[in-house]
């Protein structure tokens, strides 16, 4: 994987353009599997480690399930996992390095978003209290907040290491065009297989709280 920052579309990039829905945070499905960060909006996206990890989350999922995200709900899960990974990695790094966490821990990309949001600055959060299906907007980043909050709840219930392992392992079993419900059931089954009924119940409850199961 090549990580770089460019100012305009690379000639070999397809799919997502460099500038788009949210401040140039994009991945390119290129032959070289590149991740590309923009610099629209005042803060270079690659200055925010959570923006970097979010995009890396897309690469993780694409490596696990080639072509992942071909339905609206699968695409939403893609955005949600990127946000979750950004937060869980960011909080881990803050802990081990003694960095201060000055925002709500569920806040995503608080540095990148200083230039285009009002305080508290968050590109998105894992705590919007969105509920399925009535809060669907038909946009992957917005709808992803339903899924990402379920992941955050699993992390709060089971602890970081157990939650992260379940969440990542479950994704190997997702269809490229999965629905929320199918992916949630796979995640519950993965928890059951890895850790037994008690933790599977907690995972089910996290998805049920969002209206997904
Ligand atoms: Zn994304």
DSSP for 3-46, please give it: EEE-SS--TT--SS-SS-TTTTEEE---TT-EEEE--TTSS-GG
- Same structural domain for residues 125 and 190? yes
- Same structural domain for residues 55 and 78? no
What CATH number is given to the structural domain containing 119?
A: 1.10.390.10
- Same structural domain for residues 145 and 177? yes
- Same structural domain for residues 82 and 129? yes
- Same structural domain for residues 151 and 92? yes
- Same structural domain for residues 193 and 121? yes
Tell me, in angstroms, the distance from the centre of ligand 1 to residue 21's CA: 10
Number of domains in the chain: 2
- Same structural domain for residues 195 and 153? yes
Tell me, in angstroms, the distance from the centre of ligand 1 to residue 196's CA: 32
**CA-closest candidate to residue 170, choices 133, 199, 139, 141:** 199
Tell me, in angstroms, the distance from the centre of ligand 1 to residue 202's CA: 27
- Same structural domain for residues 16 and 50? yes
Tell me, in angstroms, the distance from the centre of ligand 1 to residue 206's CA: 22
Which pLDDT does position 35 carry in this prediction? 78
- Same structural domain for residues 56 and 132? no
Last residue of a domain, which of 64, 80, 105? 64
- Same structural domain for residues 136 and 111? yes
Tell me, in angstroms, the distance from the centre of ligand 1 to residue 140's CA: 9
SS (H, E, C) 103-153: CCCCEECCCHHHHCCCCCCCCEECCCCCCCCCCCCCCHHHHHHHHHHHHHH
Which pLDDT does position 15 carry in this prediction? 33
Last residue of a domain, which of 48, 64, 80? 64
Which pLDDT does position 20 carry in this prediction? 32
Tell me, in angstroms, the distance from the centre of ligand 1 to residue 77's CA: 10
Which pLDDT does position 18 carry in this prediction? 38
Which pLDDT does position 41 carry in this prediction? 66
Do residues 74 and 143 make contact, with C-beta atoms less than 8 angstroms apart? no
- Same structural domain for residues 187 and 139? yes
Residues 6+ away with beta carbon under 8 Å from 20: 26
- Same structural domain for residues 12 and 76? no
Protein residues within 5 Å, CB atom, of ion ligand 1: 79, 82
> Domain range holding 138?
72-209
Tell me, in angstroms, the distance from the centre of ligand 1 to residue 89's CA: 16
CB atoms within 10 A of CB 183: 22
Residues 6+ away with beta carbon under 8 Å from 98: none
Which pLDDT does position 120 carry in this prediction? 83
CA angle, corner 87, sides to 85 and 138, nearest 5?
70
Last residue of a domain, which of 64, 97, 114? 64
Q: Kindly report the pTM of this predicted structure.
A: 0.86
Tell me, in angstroms, the distance from the centre of ligand 1 to residue 54's CA: 6
Which parts of the chain register pLDDT below 70? 1-32, 40-41
Question: Tokens 């979750």 sit at which residue?
Answer: 84
How many helices (H) and strands (E) the chain has is answered by 6, 5
């Amino acid at each position: 994987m090549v990580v770089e920052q460019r100012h305009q579309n690379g000639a070999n990039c397809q799919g997502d353009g460099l500038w788009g829905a949210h401040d140039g945070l994009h991945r390119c499905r290129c032959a070289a599997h590149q991740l590309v960060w923009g610099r629209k909006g005042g803060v270079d996206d690659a200055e925010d480690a959570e923006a970097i990890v979010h995009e890396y989350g897309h690469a993780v999922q694409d490596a696990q399930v080639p072509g992942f995200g071909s339905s609206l709900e699968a695409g939403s899960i893609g955005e949600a996992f990127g946000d979750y990974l950004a937060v869980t990695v960011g909080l881990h790094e803050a802990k081990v390095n003694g960095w201060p966490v000055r925002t709500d821990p569920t806040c995503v990309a608080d540095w990148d978003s200083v230039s285009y949001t009002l305080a508290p600055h968050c590109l998105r959060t894992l705590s919007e209290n969105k509920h399925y299906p009535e809060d669907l907007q038909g946009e992957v980043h917005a709808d992803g907040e339903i899924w990402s909050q379920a992941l955050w709840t699993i992390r709060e219930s089971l602890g970081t290491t157990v939650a992260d392992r379940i969440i990542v392992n479950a994704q190997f079993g997702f269809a490229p065009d999965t629905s929320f419900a199918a992916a949630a059931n796979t995640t519950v089954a993965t928890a059951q297989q890895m850790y037994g009924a008690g933790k599977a119940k907690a995972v089910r409850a996290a998805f049920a709280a969002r209206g997904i199961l």
